[in-house]
Structure 1
């Protein structure tokens, strides 16, 4: 049950990390807004909560000396996958900190990325006085406080990674995968491909050679007829 629970939590962490990665890529673009920054905050906090839960459930079995070899190998694979997720999460959090600093929400020249929206002074003023803009103006300090919080969370994730390496010694290069790289792409070959693989080279190339020979014969006959017709026309003229 502990192993299945770890797999479920790790799957949730994978999804949260992937979602956070895609959200980070939109910082500073035309879709950037306070809603995006709030969603980034919620997603990374959810990922950290899952990481804490997974660490607690993986540390105890891996430190158990009475664990069987097969069970230990499975938990070590989960541990390596978990470590990879944390590395990606930390890298994206650092990227979000850099982009958030370069593209503050309330900068006078923001947005720095051209979105194609243009207009005169009156239309710009009307958009600036919209209800959404007023709400964001009232919460001007959100992104500044969020960046400070993000810095603290990056340190927490880095400390978590360091503590993991100190408490559980599982070198990544010693863990063997259960399947070859890219095996999932070949897990369900289509019927057409399978049927073609069963045909021998001679059977596959035989009809193809006959069709090529027939096409060459027809082309030669048509070419000779065209040449003969051209000669006849030249003599009659």
Structure 2
């Protein structure tokens, strides 16, 4: 094993976590693709991917057209290739996780800050910390106003419905 400084070790750990996460997402997407390919085969049978509610005048003729064996073989080969790719990605993930004992939940989060982010932070700090406290206090009255407005509107609707029901009942009694 080579001696690696602590900063390089953290960088390698971060890269490993990113790579591992990407591989896991790739595996999930490949499973989804396989599921969709099996659910909606493009070359075999008469399957409608989108039902638009219209029918074509030559639908009967289309169903009688024979699909070539080459197309069916290509489709089955694509599905087999996708299954092999999924198995390869799964094996790669297993191998990597066996060789490197880094737990992604134990890794510290890493946020890349660009120059623009730093500029934004410095501008907000120069305007004062009162802006952030004002923003926090402004949110609470808005929620109270929305609740109050909702209660007023619901009360008004309830009064109107009650008046309408009473009016209908009185109209039926006369």
Shorter-chain TM-score: what band? 0.5 to 0.7
Output the CA distance in 2 between the equivalents of 1:71 and 1:167.
18
2:100 corresponds to 1:168: yes
Output the CA distance in 2 between the equivalents of 1:164 and 1:151.
20
Show the counterpart of 2:80: 148
Aligned length: 128
The one-character-per-residue Cα deviations of 1:181-209 (angstroms, maximum 9, x if unpaired) are: xx88x9375989x86976696xxx9xxxx
Structure with more contact order per residue of length (Cα contacts < 8 Å, sep ≥ 6): 2
2:47 corresponds to 1:110: yes
Within 5 Å, give how 1:168-207 maps onto structure 2: 168-179=100-111, 187=117, 189=120
- How far the C-alpha of 1:169 sits from its partner, in A, is 1.2
1:119 pairs with one of 28, 48, 56: 56
Q: Any gaps of 5 or more consecutive residues in structure 2?
A: 139-174
- How far the C-alpha of 1:151 sits from its partner, in A, is 1.0
Show the counterpart of 2:23: 86
The SS at the match of 2:72 is: coil
The RMSD of aligned alpha carbons is 3.8
Q: Any gaps of 5 or more consecutive residues in structure 1?
A: 1-63, 206-237
TM-score by length of 2: 0.58
2:9 corresponds to 1:72: yes
Output the CA distance in 1 between the equivalents of 2:29 and 2:12.
26
- How far the C-alpha of 1:174 sits from its partner, in A, is 2.3
Q: 1:196 to 1:141 in 2, by over 3 A?
A: farther
The SS at the match of 1:139 is: helix
- How far the C-alpha of 1:178 sits from its partner, in A, is 2.7
- How far the C-alpha of 1:112 sits from its partner, in A, is 4.0
TM-score by length of 1: 0.44
